[in-house]
Amino acid sequence: MSERGEYRLSLPLAFDTAIGYWTGAPDWELLAGALAQRLNKSVADRLDAHRRGGPPLEAGGLVLEVVETTLVIHGDPAAAEALAADLARWFARPATAAD
Say what the pTM is.
0.81
pLDDT at 43: 86
The tens-digit pLDDT sequence of the chain (99 residues) is: 346 789 999 999 988 888 888 888 899 889 998 888 888 888 888 888 898 899 999 988 899 999 999 999 999 999 999 999 999 998 887 766 455
d(CA 34, CA 30): 6
Q: Are 66 and 57 in contact (CB under 8 A)?
A: no
Range of the domain at 64: 5-92
CA distance 41 to 20: 30
Structural domain includes residue 99: no
For the chain, what is the domain count?
1
Question: Would you say residue 16 lies in a domain?
Answer: yes
Q: Is 98 among the domain residues?
A: no
